Structure formats: C-alpha cells, structure tokens
Structure 1
Amino acid sequence: MSQQLVNSIKYLIRLTEEEESLLPTLFNRVTLKKNEYFLQEGKVSGHVAFIEKGLAGYVMTHNGEDVHFYFSRENEWVGNYESFLSRQPSTKSIIALEPSVLWTISKENLQKVFDTVKEGDRMGRLIIEDVFVKSSKQLTSLYTGTPEERYHEFFELFQDIQHRVPQYMIASFIGVKPQSLSRIRSRMANKH
C-alpha cells in the first residue's frame, strides 16, 4: 500500500495501528495509461481514488465541445462525488492526462472506513469540504471574474502543473478559446 496514501489520511485524522493495518484491505492499486478513463460520462461512479502518481482531468461535453473544468494531481483525491454518492450516471468524465497510479476505494469499502475507523467520518467530511470549497470558488470565478482573473486563479491553483496541461485545456478551464488565452498571456507578460 502507498505510504503517500497513508500519510494523506494521517494528515487528516489520527489512525491507530489496527486502523492503519485495515487500509490495505480496502484500497486497490490501479494504473492508467495517458488518455485512459477513470470514469466515463454516462457511467455510474463506483470508486473514488487517491492519486499516488500522475494527473487527471475532469471534462464534460457542452454544445458538442469538451469543457475542461478541473484537474487533480499527486496526493489529491479524484472522483465524481455527485455520481458516487447518488448512484446516478455521471455527467462528466475523468481522464488520465499522463500515466497515473491510483489507489481506489469503492463506496462499500469507504463506508467500512467510516464505520470502523474512529475518525473515519471526519476524514470523509474534510475531503468533501475541500472539494466543495474548490468547486464553489471556481463556479463563482466563472460568473464574476474576467478571463484574466480566471487565468490568474488557474495559475495560483495549478502553478505546479501548468506545464503538464495542454494549453487548450487551460483555455477551456478559464472559459476562453485558445487564441484568447494566448492574448491574455501576452498582455499579462507585458504588465510584468
């Protein structure tokens, strides 16, 4: 089992030795090739995962175009919680943007964490709170921020992965065409 995953959980909650020894029985290691789906639009999400290595992109189709709206990288959780919790088909896909190693957990096994690990419910709450805050900020930015402000927010949020994500995905994330992103970057470079 990944020490990164254990450390990530220990960052959120305290684990006894017995609780820590339970974790390897609940998670499965999965490798994805570049452009392989972790979750495909229209399918029900059966797992959430911790990213040990790699990068995942969230994408949905709107008016016939792919809209890239979030990225998850090493030491972060990835999943479509809306589909995972409701058991409804996903309206978005999650794709490996580079070769990735994930530690997946099913809804049933996650429930075992909540039931068996003393602070398991707290762990789940903290992870969901983090997802909610990030989603809410991004949604607000999309409706109230200028393209330059949204690019600046992308840069702040994902500075460490900006060179790992294709430019057209960054443009999609901030809600502009790739040509507009080039102009935004040029204007921002001239300011500095």
Structure 2
Amino acid sequence: MNEIRDFIDKISKMNNTDWAFFSSKLKKVKYSKNTKILELGKIERHLYFITKGIIRLYIPKEDADITFGFLFENEFVTGYDSLLTETPSAYEIETLTETEMWQINNMDLQEVYAHTSVGNIIGRKMAENMYLIKSKRELSLLSKTAEERYLDLFNERPNLLQHIPLKYIASYIGVTPQALSRIRKRIT
C-alpha cells in the first residue's frame, strides 16, 4: 500500500488522518493474465491503482480490436467516462499480465472527496492528467505519421515495446501488424 501513498503524496501531501480514511476504503485485488476487468456495455464501479502488471484499454471489433491505451505499475486505471456518468462502457479493459491492484468503489471514492482535505485536489489533478494524455494521443493521431507515433512511443515508453504484443502496439498507433513490421525494418 506504500506505493499508492507515495504516488498520492507526489500529487498533494495527504495527512495521516485522511490517509487512514482513504486507505480503509481500499481493497487489494489480483487478476490473471488476459482477464477483463471492465466489459463492453457494463458500468464501471471502481477506480484501480496498479501495483503490478500491464493493462490494455480497447474497443472490441470482429476483425481486430482497436487498442487505445496501456497502463503500468504506479498508474490509475478505470473506465473513467462510465464511472463518472454511470453509463455502460463503450470499451473494455483487460490485464495483459498477471496484475495486482488496489481498488476503491465509486461510492467510497465520493466519500473520500467529501471527507478529506485533499481528496478533491488529487481527483482533479488525476482528471487533468488523464485529459492531457488523451489530448496528446488525439493530436498525435491527427498530425503525425505512423512511424513518428511509433518512435514517440519507443522514446516515451520503452517498457511498452518489451512487454506488449506487437499486434496491440500496431493497433495503438493505428496501423496493421504488417505495416508496423515494415516501420520497424525501416528504423533498424
């Protein structure tokens, strides 16, 4: 549980009373590789903090899934739009590796926001961070070539390329696995 406190304290220091209240709401969960933690059409009820593992966010399609996000240790994951609106999710979230996380349900999260001195600040900063990541991805898809997106990914998150199947990386940068193979050959 120390890793989540360290993460939160980097955003905004949480006093011991608030930490005790927040941490009392957390539950440790473990998932096997390739487990869906949010299914298409289901309503997201939890926010998770990853302590071990890799998570993929994607839109399932008959011919090929569309991957739009990866998350790693010391990051939060949730179907945020579904969590906020309490509406069915338009995508799925799955584990790519054996994964361990701390989870908090939405009702308890709202209590943390209401009853702690920094809960709202942390929530706002996390939402701002998610927005910046999403905005950067959209701009990249609209303004860069697939090769540039691959190189950006390689430079920003080299761990991604070591642990994630190439078909998911290809989908993430918006190309077929064959096109990604050609890009990789050109680069090397």
- Give the corresponding residue for 1:75: 74
Give the unaligned 5+ runs of structure 2.
none
Q: Distance in 2 between matches of 1:157 and 1:29?
A: 29
Instruction: Give the drift of 1:23.
Output: 2.2
Cα deviation 1:68-87 (Å, max 9, x = unaligned): 11100000000111000000
Number of matched pairs: 188
Instruction: Give the drift of 1:10.
Output: 1.0
Cα deviation 1:11-62 (Å, max 9, x = unaligned): 1111111111112211111101000011111100001100011010001024
Percent identity at matched positions?
Answer: 32
* RMSD after superposition: 1.2
Please give the secondary structure, in 2, of the residue aligned with 1:163: helix
Q: Distance in 2 between matches of 1:119 and 1:55?
A: 28
Give the unaligned 5+ runs of structure 1.
none
Cα deviation 1:158-179 (Å, max 9, x = unaligned): 2122111001000000111111
Residues 1:91 and 2:111 are matched in the alignment:
no
Q: Distance in 2 between matches of 1:155 and 1:79?
A: 24
Q: Distance in 1 between matches of 2:31 and 2:124?
A: 27
**TM-score in terms of structure 1 length:** 0.94
